[in-house]
Amino acid sequence: MAQQDRAIRTRRTILEAAASVFDDHGYDRATIAEVLERAGVTKGALYFHFASKEELALAVLEEHVVDIAVAPQKIKLQEFVDSGQVLAYRLRRDPMQRGAARLAVEQGSNRLDRKRSMLAWTQFVEMLLNEAKGRGEVLDSVVVRETAEMFVGAFAGLQTMSHALTNQADLCHRLAIFFEHTLPSIAVPAVLARLKLDPERGEKLDAELLGGRADGDAFLEAGNSLADAAS
């Protein structure tokens, strides 16, 4: 393995360990020592990639947004639904997503800028909705920015509630109910009738996305072993 590949893998290992520590303890009580232990790397390796706990947290939050793009669909609004369902599914099992979600919703330290992750996700949703509107899929009454922010905000709360009640086991189901309530106010009737809203979509799409990645299995295994280590 080339040196650069190794550095990328080490960085990923550290980030996943950090995410699982943030998921278990929150930002304030997370320690670099525990990240080192879970990642199985030296202090020098960690500080080569990240100067501080804050940098680790920001990098975890960054991954949260990067990882939710799904395959293009004929109906753009379907991509909006699907990216939400994939994220909801991953919050059940992917330590990176779980850690990022906890960082994003907890007030914790004032030094950590949680706005950035929410705004980045809002922009991503806004882009999808604008494209959908350009194709005539969205009702004229919709103010795209408002709808995008409403979705991101509501999602954050649905995952908080699902975490408290079922450790995220029912998040895909809760999200499907949210979509059933809101999409009639977003999609034009012809598009609404064709949207697939079943809560099992997240799992199916996640498998497809991982199958499409060269390193899909390795990534999944790394995620699972961290989840096992954390439990």
Residues of this chain that bind a second copy (CB under 8 A): 26, 28-29, 102, 105-108, 114-115, 118-119, 146-147, 149-150, 152-165, 174, 177-178, 180-182, 184-186
Nearest to 223 by CA among 91, 55, 68: 91
Report whether 114 contacts 104 (CB < 8 A).
Answer: yes
Rank residues 78 and 159 by Cβ distance to a second copy and give the closer one: 159
Q: Which of 109, 101, 112, 115 is nearest to 163 (CA)?
A: 101
Please say which residue, 4 or 141, places its beta carbon nearer to a second copy: 141
Considering beta carbons, is residue 199 or 223 the nearer one to a second copy?
A: 199
The answer to whether residues 28 and 108 touch, using CB atoms and an 8 Å cutoff, is: yes
Rounded to the nearest 10°, the torsion over CA 95, 106, 124, 94 is: 10
Cα–Cα distance, 125 to 79 (Å, whole number): 10
Task: State the nearest-atom distance from the C-beta of 159 to a second copy, in Å.
Answer: 8
Nearer to a second copy, 7 or 150 (CB): 150
Q: Return the DSSP state at 138.
A: B
> Residue 189: exposed, middle, or buried by beta-carbon count in 10 A (0-12, 13-18, 19+)?
exposed
Closest contact distance (angstroms) between CB of 178 and a second copy is 6
Q: Give the nearer residue to a second copy in terms of CB position, either 7 or 170.
A: 170
